[in-house]
Structure 1
Amino acid sequence: MKVLVTGSAGFIGGYVVQELLRQGWDVVGVDNYSKYGPVRHSYDDHERYTFVEGDVQDTDLMYKLMVDVDHVVAGAALIGGITYFHKYAYDLLAQNERIIASTCDAAIAVQRDGGLLQKVTYLSSSMVFESTDRWPSVEGDQHLVPPPRSSYGFQKLAVEYFARAAWEQYQLPYTILRPFNCVGVGERRALGELEVWSGNVPLAMSHVVPDLVQKILKGQDPLHILGNGEQIRHYTYGGDLARGIVAAIAHPAALNEDFNLSTSVGTTVAELAQEIWSKVHGDRPLSLVHGAAFEHDVQKRVPSVEKARDVLGFEATTTLSDMLDETIPWVREAIASGVL
């Protein structure tokens, strides 16, 4: 089986490619390096991996790449931390719409022309539940709660509408997946990242785990956090998310379905800060300074994980402690090498 992964050089995309190769798939990756610039991965020279540097907005290119694949993982998107939601509010909407439209246009054409393509698996986001007033967020709630307020969340909801509309009109099969708060290694400061200071240290990516890790490693004390620290997130390991994504690609019960992919364990930002602090400083007391939260900093993001467990057999099992044991050394090295 052969799969095309768009956005293959991205944070989640890298984990997905690695998992696909581990499970024996032939993989084609496409990315324009717009987020980090050219990056190297351990699997770049793998015999079953082909990388194409190109723009997913180029529908002709996408058609050529899809002609002989069985599946597509539509992961390409302009994406960043919460500062992105403000600095690139329009681009997040406009460019990501062009990316998903090009992907769907090419897939529809390939299917029309008798290609091998069986299904497109779309990566959405937990941000489709940005405005929810009920927890946990169950698949289907995105149609019952108010729409997202951020342009990023709104566009991710639009991705799901593209998927369903392409099925309704053209019978292009789909699966929709919503990763929650990915944590892992390989994430770095994006090109064009807006520099925002938190105390005496600039945020690395406006993603809470690497930002807290790098502030603590750089010696910030007291530690500055955004908001009251009671924001709840379900931090999910990138390798676990990749397993869930790959499980859904060819699973017959995933056809024309949507799934939340997440750990079942919730953690407040204050609890996260304490755990990172303890791993770096041991028993040294932690003091917090609370700064103003960003406008779109969702206070509570809690997923229902039962559907993915019952239908796909997927559970995210990596603990936050184990994630941090991998992430902290990577961030330390990234600081030393100037990546962060």
Structure 2
Amino acid sequence: MTIIVTGAAGFIGSHVSRRLIARGERVVGIDNLNDYNPVALKRDRLAAIAGTDGASELFRFAEVDFSDHEALDRAIMGETITAIVHLGAQAGVRYSLENPRAYAASNLTGHLNMLEVARHAGVRHMVYASSSSVYGTSPDLPFSVEQRVDFPISLYAATKKADELMSESYSHLYRIPQTGLRFFTVYGPWGRPDMAVWGFTDKILRGEPITVFNGGNMRRDFTYIDDIVTGILAALDHPPADDGSTKAGGSASPHALYNIGNNRAEPLEKLIALIEESCGKAAIRIEQPMQPGDVPATYAELSAIQRDLGFRPTTPIDVGIPQWVEWYRAYSGL
């Protein structure tokens, strides 16, 4: 009885793996350990998983690229797979402008391969990562899962929308219960160096300048990692019913879509001020215009996930950022 977690050496995947192990679940972690983010950080995350009580019996790691279906099949051969938490993906909006084929391989072919695993294993549920990027530059705030999301402004966003469509077709054809989660700007311990929270903290502590886009006139729904993991596990434990009813996101198949965020559109300037306060140092700023693919604001409307899964975030950035900076100081030695 095994749960596959893809992206297990990644930020969210490593936290989910640890939480599943802590509650006694057997986990097979899959990750290709690519160098988009530092491989040493990924190995440190895996070491943290291995240090979780029970991990020696409950966790197995397979270094494999899930966009290679033959390698994936070999890695999971003999496992009795009951559920999948598919968090692995090629992330990043700006990088999709530089290396689009990486997104096609991981986010499109890779997602299809995980759907095939789910189909042939007959899993009880597959939870997968979508993104708030699918909303593009919609002026309708807060973003609701009932909104149309037909105008992605980055290839990354387009691949995540495509993942939702592929999952809908597989749920309809093969009655595979699936839940897609549109994440909103996740931060916290073991985070990603390509995210603003990490970059700002590192540069402020080192006395190096930070780059602030669009004059800081941007808002994000910053979501603390512990809240995200709680939401993922709530989704995993409540697969959508296959009873013909319309699910969140408008599907009559056993497929639901939810926003998962903090339900607060925080100004970028507030984030910077909190990091400065937590670091005890002022930022040196370089101003730059808005970057291609970026959006001015994200803001999650959470009524569907609150109603169906009881999800309610509990960590505002006033609490989460000091905890993040404390972890980062200890990890980096700064």
* TM-score (ref. length: structure 1): 0.84
Give the match for residue 102 of structure 1.
Answer: 113
Q: How does 1:180-259 map to 2 (within 5 A)?
A: 180-189=184-193, 205=194, 207-220=195-208, 224-253=211-240, 255-259=254-258
- Superposed displacement of residue 236, structure 1: 0.5
Gaps of 5+ in 2: 242-253
Q: Does residue 295 in structure 1 map to residue 292 in structure 2?
A: yes
- Superposed displacement of residue 70, structure 1: 1.1
Q: Distance in 1 between matches of 2:106 and 2:48?
A: 29
Give the match for residue 201 of structure 1.
Answer: none
Q: Is the 8 A contact 1:90 1:151 kept in 2?
A: no
Aligned CA RMSD, in angstroms, stands at 2.3
- Superposed displacement of residue 326, structure 1: 2.2
- Superposed displacement of residue 148, structure 1: 0.5
Q: 1:119/1:63 Cα in 2 relative to 1: closer, same or farther (>3 Å)? A: farther
Q: Does residue 179 in structure 1 map to residue 183 in structure 2?
A: yes
Q: Is the 8 A contact 1:124 1:160 kept in 2?
A: yes
Q: Distance in 2 between matches of 1:21 and 1:297?
A: 36
- Superposed displacement of residue 336, structure 1: 3.9
Give the match for residue 193 of structure 1.
Answer: none
Q: Does residue 154 in structure 1 map to residue 158 in structure 2?
A: yes
Identity %: 26
Q: How does 1:267-278 map to 2 (within 5 A)?
A: 267-278=266-277
Q: Is the 8 A contact 1:182 1:237 kept in 2?
A: yes
Per-residue CA deviation, residues 150-201 of structure 1 (Å, 9 max, x unaligned), is 0000000011011101112222221111111010122354xxxxxxxxxxxx
Aligned residues: 310
SS in 1 for 2:165: helix
SS in 2 for 1:228: helix
Q: Bigger shift: 246-255 or 148-157?
A: 246-255
Q: Distance in 1 between matches of 2:106 and 2:67?
A: 8
After superposing on structure 2, the runs of 4+ consecutive aligned residues of structure 1 that deviate more than 6 Å are none
Give the match for residue 59 of structure 2.
Answer: 49
Q: Bigger shift: 242-251 or 40-49?
A: 40-49
Q: Is the 8 A contact 2:66 2:106 kept in 1?
A: no
Q: Does residue 140 in structure 1 map to residue 151 in structure 2?
A: no
Q: 1:145/1:26 Cα in 2 relative to 1: closer, same or farther (>3 Å)? A: closer
Q: Is the 8 A contact 2:130 2:163 kept in 1?
A: yes
Give the match for residue 84 of structure 1.
Answer: 95
Per-residue CA deviation, residues 217-256 of structure 1 (Å, 9 max, x unaligned), is 11246x5411121211011011110110011012145752
Per-residue CA deviation, residues 105-145 of structure 1 (Å, 9 max, x unaligned), is 2222233xxxxx2121111111111232311111121xx24
Q: How does 1:319-334 map to 2 (within 5 A)?
A: 319-334=316-331
Q: Is the 8 A contact 2:238 2:309 kept in 1?
A: yes
Q: 1:224/1:74 Cα in 2 relative to 1: closer, same or farther (>3 Å)? A: closer
* TM-score (ref. length: structure 2): 0.85
Q: Is the 8 A contact 1:3 1:26 kept in 2?
A: yes
Give the match for residue 248 of structure 2.
Answer: none
Q: 1:19/1:229 Cα in 2 relative to 1: closer, same or farther (>3 Å)? A: same
Gaps of 5+ in 1: 112-116, 190-204
Q: Distance in 2 between matches of 1:226 and 1:88?
A: 22
Q: Distance in 2 between matches of 1:26 and 1:224?
A: 42
